[in-house]
């Protein structure tokens, strides 16, 4: 149900790769408006925005993870202030399920910080016991990034961190300490190259992870894993990049996937797709968004205050929107700048 007088704003963060590693940006667009606005006042020069987070109770408050730590805005991104934390690359941000004053930030190299006062002060959590699967340790750089953080809404003491490239870490004490929960006799690192982690309130103890080639589910807090089958985008799998539980219906989960990427055979033609499950991951369907994106689908965003507003985008900033809960879709204006400067979309959120 939409909040009274609520208007949805969409936010997209950009970051460079390769020769463009030092470039980035942050853009905002109001629902119904075709124009994107750059909102970087107070952010570092050429901000590489790898993570975004909208406050669940006050959508004017937004957090951004940059190459020099986290930032916060209290006016929908018009102005930003640096927060007191490590001045390193932030790749993920998350709220405690029951307390939005408690915020978590995931870093590269692997580190997790926690704030109990909305980001004003932070503590570094204990990740010293994390041991990465041996098959991933040869990949440069050796510093692993925490690309996703999620807590089990039914038991917030259980938390999970997706590592690119390095498996899944878990905490059983609300983020105080962390350890590796994925290891084994792997022949390739593709299934340990994680891109996201989610836990639905509709399935306590059930953890979903997405990797370079597939999606997996554990029904027992990460002890045993099963491969979730979706339409293969290339022989042997799909490049899975975005995963989101709908805030309006916890049984509904979206997956952003595509062909191409490091796990695909050489010469694979790129394409993107959006998948959806309405039964907590038991069955999946490819969503008809009215188009086949020419690049991998990267992210999904759903407005908590207006969950009928659903968005997805490919990594070059082509954005698709639905205003009826994901049934009918239209193509919107493309995020400016990323194609001409070889930048990629990393986070996309709305509120």
Sheet hosting strand 319-322, strand order edge to edge: 297-303, 306-314, 319-322, 330-331
Contact 183, 220 (CB under 8 A): no
Burial class (CB in 10 A: 0-12, 13-18, 19+), 79: middle
Residue 3, pLDDT score: 64
pTM of the model: 0.95
Helix (H) or strand (E) holding 82: strand 81-82
CA distance 64 to 49: 7
Residue 340, pLDDT score: 46
Residue 236, pLDDT score: 86
Residue 186, pLDDT score: 83
Residue 336, pLDDT score: 81
In this structure, the number of other CB atoms found within 10 A of the CB of residue 331 comes to: 13
Residue 227, pLDDT score: 95
Residues (pLDDT < 50) of the chain are 339-340
**Can you give the residue ranges of every domain in the chain?**
9-350
The class that CATH gives domain 9-350 is mainly beta
């Amino acid at each position: 149900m939409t909040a009274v007088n609520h208007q949805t704003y969409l936010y997209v963060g950009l970051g460079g790769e390769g020769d463009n590693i030092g470039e980035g940006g942050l853009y905002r667009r109001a629902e119904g408006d075709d124009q994107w606005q750059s909102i970087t006042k107070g952010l570092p020069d050429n901000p590489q925005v790898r993570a975004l987070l909208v406050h669940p109770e006050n959508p004017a408050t937004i957090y951004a993870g940059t190459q020099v730590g986290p930032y916060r805005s209290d006016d929908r991104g018009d102005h930003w202030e640096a927060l007191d934390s490590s001045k390193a690359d932030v790749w993920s941000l998350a709220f405690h399920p029951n307390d939005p004053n408690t915020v978590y930030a995931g870093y590269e190299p692997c580190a997790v910080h926690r704030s109990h006062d909305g980001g004003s002060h932070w503590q570094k959590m204990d990740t010293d016991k994390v041991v990465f699967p041996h098959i991933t340790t040869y990949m440069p750089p050796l510093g692993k990034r925490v690309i996703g953080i999620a807590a089990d809404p039914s038991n917030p003491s259980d938390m999970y961190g997706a590592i690119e490239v390095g498996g899944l870490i878990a905490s059983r004490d609300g983020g105080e300490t962390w350890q590796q929960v994925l290891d084994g006799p792997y022949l390739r690192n593709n299934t340990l190259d994680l891109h996201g982690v989610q836990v639905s309130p509709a399935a306590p103890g059930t953890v979903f992870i997405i990797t370079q080639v597939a999606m997996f589910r554990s029904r027992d807090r990460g002890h045993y894993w099963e491969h979730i089958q979706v339409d293969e985008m290339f022989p042997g799998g799909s490049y899975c990049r975005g995963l989101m539980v709908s805030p309006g219906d916890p049984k509904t989960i979206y997956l952003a996937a595509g062909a191409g990427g490091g796990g695909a055979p050489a010469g694979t033609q790129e394409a993107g797709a959006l998948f959806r499950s309405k039964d907590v991951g038991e069955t999946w369907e490819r969503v008809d968004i009215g188009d086949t994106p020419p690049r991998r689908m990267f992210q999904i965003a759903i407005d908590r205050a207006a969950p009928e507003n659903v968005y997805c985008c490919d990594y070059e900033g082509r954005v698709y929107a639905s205003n009826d809960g994901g049934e009918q879709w239209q193509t919107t204006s493309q995020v400016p700048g990323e194609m001409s400067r070889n930048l990629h979309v990393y986070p996309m959120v709305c509120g």
